[in-house]
Copies of this chain bind each other. A is one copy, B any other.
Amino acid sequence: MANKGSFITLALDVMGGDKAPRSVIEGAHLAFELNPSLHFLLFGDQDQINPLLEEFPSLRKATTLVHTKDLIRNEDKPSVALRQGRKSSMRLAINAVEEGKADAVVSAGNTGAYMAISKFVLKTMAGISRPAIAASFPTNKGSCVVLDLGANVSCDSDNLVEFAVMGDIYARDVLGLSNPKVALLNVGEEEMKGNAEVQNAAAILKKAPNTLNFQGFIEADRIMKGEADVVVTDGFSGNIALKASEGVIDFITHLLKEAIKSSWLSKLGGLLIARPLKRMKDKINPKHHNGAILIGLGGIAIKSHGGADGIAYASAIKVAAQMVSHGLQKQIEEKLSQLSLDLERDHDDSATNL
């Protein structure tokens, strides 16, 4: 690993994202101001990056620029990006983690391509059959982590159990919780509800009380009530929960603007509540909870929202640094072996009871 002493080296795909490369350089600058132990390997077009670096001379000292003209576009299919993007800024940034030159990689580019290339280059972590996309959701009580958000459209119960283990570590490392409550997303909270996959996953998780603080099922309307710290689901349902939430937030934001614009009295009212309203929007918007992780890979890969600005990108960098300094991979491996012990013990106990 490149994590020598207290320094953390991050590989940044400077060309990925709707507002790249500016958002990436601004984000790196902000993150570096807050955490001077960061060093950045920047991958991208030097003709675009150098002028930006001149704006931030303090950041310049903490960066090494690796020039490439190639990049992955949002519309590129993962398979095509994998074959034809060997010199792209995204691919080179991921390679840097594999080669031990960086501790983690951050990209705001094409999610499907990022997952496909990361799986190919970094491989899957020992003990994990499928990596997942994990990210935090805002709740009434702070934040929770939801996974998988779209990497795996169908999952069996073992996949869900692995997601639970990885989500537990995310909640500890990123959300700072000591004994995170883990729940399975379902269409009801009663034991007999749901499909075979969630039923079986619940049966397994119940047998491992020493490994995970498993609470049973949670319905989607309770995610934002903060009733669980880790919400485990397959990538199809998780993606739908995420996107449905984003859709409602956009719709309400639109309606709120219309409501305020509807008369001169309401316009005045809108001015008077502008500040608390801004705070509210910052709290609820998933885009401000930036920094999803492609969790379960042989290296740390963080996904920034495609539309992230500098501030949001800095938050993705912060998540990457947290994951590195907490030793994410090692913690997940330990938790997986603890889970095996728990399940073996349960198996032995059941045998004794026969």
Chain A residues within 8 Å of B, Cβ to Cβ: 77, 138-140, 150, 153-154, 185, 187, 190, 192-195, 219-225, 233, 235-237, 239-252, 254-256, 258-260, 262-263, 265-266, 268-273, 275-277, 279-280, 283-284
Contacts and interface: CB of A to CB of B under 8 A. Distances in A.
Contacts of A153: 187, 193-195
A330 B251 CA distance: 36
A245 B243 contact: no
Contact of A266 (B247, B251, B276): B276
Given A195-B236, A268-B272, A273-B270, A244 B259 contact: no
- Chain A, interface SS category: helix
A254 B221 CA distance: 14
Contacts of A262: 276
A183 B222 CA distance: 27
Contacts of A254: 140
B185 A140 contact: no
A148 to B, nearest CB: 10
Contact of A221 (B220, B233, B243, B280): B243
For this chain, the copies found in one complex come to 2
B244 A220 contact: yes
A308 to B, nearest CB: 17
A271 B269 CA distance: 7
Given A240-B237, A240-B241, A269-B270, A276 B249 contact: no
B244 A273 contact: no
A250 B236 contact: no
A254 B224 CA distance: 11
A37 to B, nearest CB: 35
Query: Which of the listed residues A254, A262, A269 has the most CB atoms from chain B within 10 Å of its own CB?
Result: A269
A270 B279 CA distance: 15
A186 to B, nearest CB: 8
A251 B236 contact: no
B244 A241 contact: yes
18 contacts: A153-B195, A185-B240, A187-B240, A219-B243, A220-B242, A223-B244, A224-B247, A224-B248, A233-B240, A237-B237, A249-B252, A251-B284, A252-B280, A259-B280, A262-B276, A270-B273, A272-B272, A273-B273
